[in-house]
Chains A and B, each alone.
Chain A
């Protein structure tokens, strides 16, 4: 890099606002849809693992192994099947969320006090209705704690997808390296962090709205 190149050229940002907004939208989609899909998979899977405990260790082992596969490698494996498309980034990110979300769904369900479960049964709730109407709502704080971790890491991992041409704001990171120009890289990092932190804040808000009874209690991650 030239020594007289400033860390950030504000003019560049001003010139690229529309384009930056487009990539921000793409980034948000690539980062958050996997969390949604992950949740759709994890909730039923977590319920099954809670009900049949023998299922939990193998599910946990598989999702932990998934998690240790480098994102770059997982993207590459899927390129073969889904090409250089958005799915190729979103499928691995979805798989990563499972290693956080499934344990949190199971822990959340385990946090339901036994008397509550018994009371619901005594009131005539069947197994399915009891899970949906009583146990899942009580599990919400623990599940959301997992969703927060999953969403923040998913948003920051999207950038790696740029190596297969689908990285949302990651575009500016590789571009900046090619041009030896730090402004786009720094801008992308700051925008990605802002997206992650804003999402995190919204999830905290969602939890407050979903669990009005726990508003005064501190829930740990």
Chain B
């Protein structure tokens, strides 16, 4: 336990030393790289996942395909994909983006689809009955009702992406994983834990942001207990 407390103190020193907060190797620079990887891949994944999830959820056609694609994408080892793309295409941001998009699509796709499909058919019928077009039914009835699940999918994806973007450092790319990988090769424990602490803090911020977003955008009538899928 003493050993552990000593370690925490060293990590604290690392995190608060001014050298960590400036320059190309500093936390702000690494954080910016990390956020760029995470943000861009989440954006691409959201476009893909939402588009297909809404389409298939609304029409009800292609449900099996959606489940299979999501399953297949979940099985891809992110680490392997990053390394493969680096080997084939050289060092750039692309390998990280490809791998992280593949990681983030399944939760967004599945939850969007489940959310829209789970909308009470009576509500859909009523919307049709008052003369709404298909587009209006989707955007004004189905999406608002599916929003809790859609946000859940986006949150899970965001947290996975933020945590996994660290593997980018292995083949020589940047981001907060740099600290972990460099610490590993130099046997520098503080560097590893310090870097991880920043990633965990980032993930917690994402979690809080989504909780806040949920409060703001989900209709008050739907504010049931979190994570219920019924």
Please report A residues at the B interface, Cβ cutoff 8 Å.
1, 7, 64-65, 67-74, 76-77, 80, 103, 107, 149, 152-153, 155-160, 162-164, 170, 173-174, 176-177, 180-182, 185-186, 188-189, 192-193, 196-197, 200, 220-221
Q: Is the beta-carbon distance between B207 and A153 smaller than 8 angstroms?
A: no
Choice from A65, A70, A177, A189 contacting B180 with Cβ under 8 Å: A70
CB of B83 within 8 A of CB of A176, answer yes
A-B residue pair count with CB separations less than 8 angstroms: 135
How far is B83's CA from A176's CA once the two chains are assembled, in angstroms? Answer: 8
B204 surroundings in chain A (CB, below 8 A) = 65, 68
Interface segment out of the listed B21-29, B126-134, B159-167: B159-167
Q: Shortest Cβ distance from A61 into chain B, in angstroms?
A: 9
Contacts of B81 in A (CB 8 A): 189
Q: What are 19 contact pairs spanning A and B, CB under 8 A?
A: A1-B87, A64-B207, A68-B200, A68-B204, A70-B166, A72-B181, A76-B180, A160-B79, A163-B170, A170-B79, A173-B79, A173-B84, A185-B87, A188-B80, A189-B84, A193-B72, A196-B74, A220-B114, A221-B114
Q: Could you say which of B162, B170, B180 contacts A68, with CB atoms under 8 Å apart? A: B162
Q: Which residues of A contact B171 (CB under 8 A)?
A: 177
Interface of B is mostly: helix
Inter-chain contacts of A71 with B (CB < 8 A): 163-164
How many residues of B are counted as interface, with CB atoms below 8 angstroms from the partner's CB atoms? 43
Interface residues of B (CB under 8 A from A): 67, 71-72, 74-81, 83-84, 86-88, 110, 114, 159, 162-164, 166-167, 170-171, 177, 180-181, 183-184, 189, 192-193, 195-196, 199-200, 203-204, 207, 227, 229
List the B side residues contacting A182 at CB < 8 Å.
84, 87-88
Q: Label chain A's interface by main secondary structure.
A: helix
**Known contacts being A65-B204, A76-B184, A185-B84, is A160 close to B167, with CB within 8 Å?**
yes
Given A77-B193, A176-B83, A188-B77, output 12 extra A-B contacts at Cβ < 8 Å.
A70-B180, A71-B164, A72-B177, A156-B75, A156-B76, A156-B77, A157-B77, A170-B77, A177-B87, A180-B87, A182-B87, A220-B114
